[in-house]
Amino acid sequence: MSSQPLDFECPRCARPASQATYGPCADCRHQLRARFEGDGRQVEVARYEPKMNVVPNQVATKD
């Protein structure tokens, strides 16, 4: 019974999907995986930017 696939709309592309679990369709999962692998480093770099901005600001406030 639980092995019956669910029929739902993909939350990402809104196209009908049929999978065992709710989530992005196979097509979207493919794109998401490529995105995670490709943008993974960019996200990490973006995290560092605010940190570096906080330090000069605190120093400037003390001045």
Residues that bind Zn ion (CB under 5 A): 10, 12-13, 25, 28
Token pair, residue 18, equals 């049929």
Minimum CB separation from Zn ion for residue 3, in Å?
22
- Cβ of residue 26: shortest distance to Zn ion, in angstroms? 8
CB of 20 to Zn ion, least distance (A): 15
Give the residue closest to Zn ion by C-beta.
10
3-state helix, strand, coil in the chain (%, to 5): 60, 15, 30
The whole-angstrom separation of Cα 59 and Cα 41 is: 29
